[in-house]
Amino acid sequence: MIEVLLEKLNTLSPLSRELTERVKSVTKIVTYPAGNFILKEGQVCNKACLVVKGLARSYYINEGRDITSRFMDEGFIITSWISYYTQQPGNEFIVAMEETTLTCVDYTEIQKLYTDFPEFNI
Q: Is the pLDDT of residue 122 over 80?
A: no
Residue 104 DSSP SS3:
strand
Radius of gyration of the chain measured on its C-alpha atoms: 15
Percent of the chain with pLDDT over 90: 81
Q: Which residues are CB-contacts of 16 (< 8 A; sequence separation ≥ 6)?
A: 117, 119
Evaluated on CA atoms 92, 95, 105, 76, the torsion sign reads negative
Q: Does the pLDDT at position 6 exceed 90?
A: no
- Quick one: pLDDT at residue 119? 82
More confident residue, 7 or 36: 36
CATH of 2-120, one of 2.60.120.10, 2.40.50.140, 3.40.50.720, 3.40.630.30: 2.60.120.10
Q: Which residue has the higher pLDDT, 54 or 15?
A: 54
At residue 108, the pLDDT reads: 96
